[in-house]
Structure 1
Amino acid sequence: MKHVTTTLLATLLALPAHAAITVRDDDGNAVTVARPAQRILALAPHITELLFAAGGGDRIAGVVSYSDYPEAAKKIAQVGDNRQYDMERIIAMKPDLIVIWMHGSAERQIAMLRQLKVPIYHSDPKKLADIPNNMERLGQLMGTEKVAAPAAAQLRAKLASLTARYAQRPPVRLFYQVWDKPLYTISGASIISDAMRVCGGQNVFAAMKIVAPVVTPEGVLQENPEAIFATSEKSDADSEGGLAMWRAFPSLAAVRGNNLFRLNGDLLNRAGPRMVDGAAALCEKLELARQHRAAPAVKAAK
């Protein structure tokens, strides 16, 4: 009898043990999976990047449009875009975890996803420090902590280094131009404003109530920012694009100081791991604006 009991115990110990895993998402809600997630839907480009960085790229069953980084993400099946999900395809994929981002037009679609009774994690980093936190929590849900934890630690160290170097530098008032027709910017509630803070920058429209408000050229002129930033895609990285409109106002501080800058939009407009690199590029441009105070450049600087 003792032999039988010992054999049974050994058999049970040999079986894979999967305890339920619970983390809290960016809303503070508990998200529980019965076992490490294997079939995940990443319903925003930044989420795809987070999952890859956390060691779970091979577990992503579906993505949305513009999920193009890293290169392997381009081969993953798409289940829609930020306007509409293909619910039939999503159901057929039988996901065991859905990672969402709640944007302005997403409420109806998210409500449909909740009817599937699949665990849903809301990823919505508000500060740069939330990005490595997301990586760690998603790593826990996938059981890939051995990849996610050191990757998150490395990102935190990089962010700490940037903050130590730039946050206490003389402040630079800046305007961040998301789009020029109409003229969109971001408020202090955006994670991009946190990147500005890390760099010693001050968002001239930080007090706006809407995260992505429309402003007027007259409003920008009244604020008279010392630097103006716009973002570019890879295809037009060498073009001045929407920044050219400001050259019609030579008395504008950003024009006088030669501080019209373009940055890689994929790095700053996505709250994924690469955003810390985007913040580093922003910091470098703001430092250039500080240098222009002492010796304004004559030629266009970009």
Structure 2
Amino acid sequence: MSLWRGLLRTSVGALLVLVLAVPARAYEVADDRGVVVSMQSPPQRIVSLLPSLTETVCELGACGRLVGVDRYSNWPAAVRSLPQVGGGLDPSIEAIVALKPDLVLVATSSRASERLRALGLKVLALEPKTGADALRVIGKLGHALNLPGSERLAQSIEEGVAAAARSVPSHLRGQRVYFEASPGPHAAGPSSFIGEMLTKLGLGNIISPELGPFPKINPEYVLRADPDLIMAGQRSTADLVARPGWRNLRAVQTQRVCIFDAAEVDVLVRPGPRMAEAAHLMAKCVSEKGAPAGATR
């Protein structure tokens, strides 16, 4: 009996050595620039330079793999204690290299990609600009990090947005909205992920599609459109009614203006895993501030 046990232990030990000796199966991921990144094993030290990518990594269950983030990544709370390496467009290359990442996540608009690649780092450029992009990026990150759950996350987002849409009272659908994405003013056009969200909620958008996703507009444009409802962040509040003629807007006079705090703005302007929460914030705004039945034009 002891002989058989000895042989069994020897066989198991030999098998374990063999398994450990086999290198991890390599795989490839193509980023949004068409650059193919080869992975020998799932990355364990990740630097993220875009808040929506940071949030997606965490929602996929890999927050512990992050070793550095950009200065704007602030959710979930766990990432606030990580080293910051500058902004997404102007990161500190030296700080990133010092963290010894095996993968750096950047926006396609970042100018740092080529410099980081030249230094031998693996760089994945991903930038969701629409709702469909955000769901696609979730799947791509799930593949890059070799993590399950990306499909479930994408499905939960879609279901959450649909639930938010159902919560908008039928008599408030069709409201014409001006959504100020940032001071400037920069508006959210119909082709932006924010504009798409408004459409899914059954709302209109005063911005013409040909102006692009986030155009800088003349405040006179909003005066002429006279929206039913205004959505904006706190940073725009002081400037909003000080703009010439804006006190005469129907939305301002009837207090149909939703002002979102800084934390809510982060949710609203990041096309990532919190899009369902963003949809519910918009739906709540419509329900609480929307015009009574028959008041839309």
User: Normalising TM by the smaller chain, what interval?
Assistant: 0.7 to 0.9
Asked if 2 retains the 8 angstrom alpha-carbon contact of 1:20 and 1:32, the reply is yes
Report the secondary structure of 1:178's partner residue. Answer: strand
- What is the aligned counterpart of 1:52 among 54, 58, 72? 58
Q: Could you tell which deviates more after superposition, 222-231 or 4-13?
A: 4-13
Asked if 2 retains the 8 angstrom alpha-carbon contact of 1:37 and 1:142, the reply is yes
What corresponds to 1:82 in structure 2? 88
Distance 1:202 1:19 in 2: 49
How do 1:1-302 and structure 2 match up within 5 A? 11-13=17-19, 18-27=24-33, 30-103=36-109, 106-107=110-111, 109-146=112-149, 148-163=150-165, 166=168, 170-180=173-183, 182-232=184-234, 240-245=237-242, 248-249=245-246, 251-263=248-260, 264-294=264-294
Deviation at 1:82, TM superposition (A): 3.4
Report the secondary structure of 2:43's partner residue. Answer: coil
Identity %: 25
Give the aligned residue type for 2:218: T
Deviation at 1:269, TM superposition (A): 1.3
Give the aligned residue type for 1:252: L
Asked if 1 retains the 8 angstrom alpha-carbon contact of 2:174 and 2:204, the reply is yes
Deviations 1:63-97 (A, max 9, x none): 11021111110111111113422112222222211
Distance 2:177 2:208 in 1: 10
Q: What TM-score comes out, normalization by structure 2 length?
A: 0.81
Q: What TM-score comes out, normalization by structure 1 length?
A: 0.79
What corresponds to 2:3 in structure 1? none
Report the secondary structure of 1:55's partner residue. Answer: coil
Deviation at 1:225, TM superposition (A): 1.4
Deviation at 1:282, TM superposition (A): 0.6
Distance 1:112 1:28 in 2: 17
Structure 1 225/77 Cα, relative in aligned 2: closer, same or farther at 3 Å? Answer: same
Structure 1 35/85 Cα, relative in aligned 2: closer, same or farther at 3 Å? Answer: same
Q: 5+ unaligned residues in a row in structure 2: which ranges?
A: 1-7
Asked if 2 retains the 8 angstrom alpha-carbon contact of 1:40 and 1:96, the reply is yes
Give the aligned residue type for 2:271: A
Asked if 1 retains the 8 angstrom alpha-carbon contact of 2:157 and 2:275, the reply is no
Structure 1 33/144 Cα, relative in aligned 2: closer, same or farther at 3 Å? Answer: same
Deviation at 1:158, TM superposition (A): 1.3
Computing the radius of gyration from Cα coordinates, the structure with the larger value is: 2
Distance 1:137 1:173 in 2: 35
Q: Could you tell which deviates more after superposition, 42-51 or 134-143?
A: 134-143
Structure 1 206/261 Cα, relative in aligned 2: closer, same or farther at 3 Å? Answer: same
Distance 1:217 1:132 in 2: 33
Asked if 1 retains the 8 angstrom alpha-carbon contact of 2:43 and 2:103, the reply is yes
